[in-house]
Amino acid sequence: MKPIAPAHTDGDIIVYFKNADVLVHGDTFWNGIYPFIDNARGGSIDGAIAAANEALGMCTDRTVVVPGHGPTGDRAHLTAFRDMLVGVRKNVAALKKQGKSLDEVLAAKPSAEYDPTWGQFVIDPALFDRLVYQGLGRHSSGQSSH
């Protein structure tokens, strides 16, 4: 069991079962769907990216990766998740840096290229974009890229 920096919330852990080569994430990894990032409880997009990067460093191509939501995956699924987080963060941050309001950012659809794959569950694209926008600059770990 390894506590990690705040990601989904301020109390996240990743559990690695070495003999079985299984990595259990809980809500720090949602396979194939946008995650809920609980900004009000210490989570942030930067923390979510840092958690994915840390988890990637703990697994191999053979590791079974158990998400908090979605089907069981592997390192490739976790990499795709991290890349999506980085991409949406980059798009939202660029708009926010231009001084765009939340409504303007949502209208620009910064996650559009990811929506067909990731935006088909409980957390829809507008909600995810809102969570990323609201969490930028909060609880930053400085590890927002891969």
Residue of 41 and 81 predicted with greater confidence? 81
Dmax (CA) of the chain: 50
Task: Over range 7-11, report the average pLDDT.
Answer: 73
CATH 3.60.15.10 fits 2-135, yes or no: yes
Rounded to whole angstroms, the Cα distance separating 92 from 88 reads 6
pTM exceeding 0.75: yes
Quote the mean pLDDT of the chain.
90
Q: What is the pLDDT of residue 23?
A: 96
Determine which of 29-38, 43-52, 77-86, 133-142 has the lowest per-residue pLDDT on average. 133-142
Q: Where are the domains of the chain?
A: 2-135
Long-range interactions of 92-95: CB distance < 8 A, separation 24+: 92/45, 92/129, 92/132, 92/133, 92/136, 93/136
Task: Over range 42-47, report the average pLDDT.
Answer: 92
**Residue 142 confidence class, pLDDT cut points 50, 70, 90:** very low
Query: Residue 1: pLDDT above 90?
Result: no
Query: Residue 146: pLDDT above 70?
Result: no
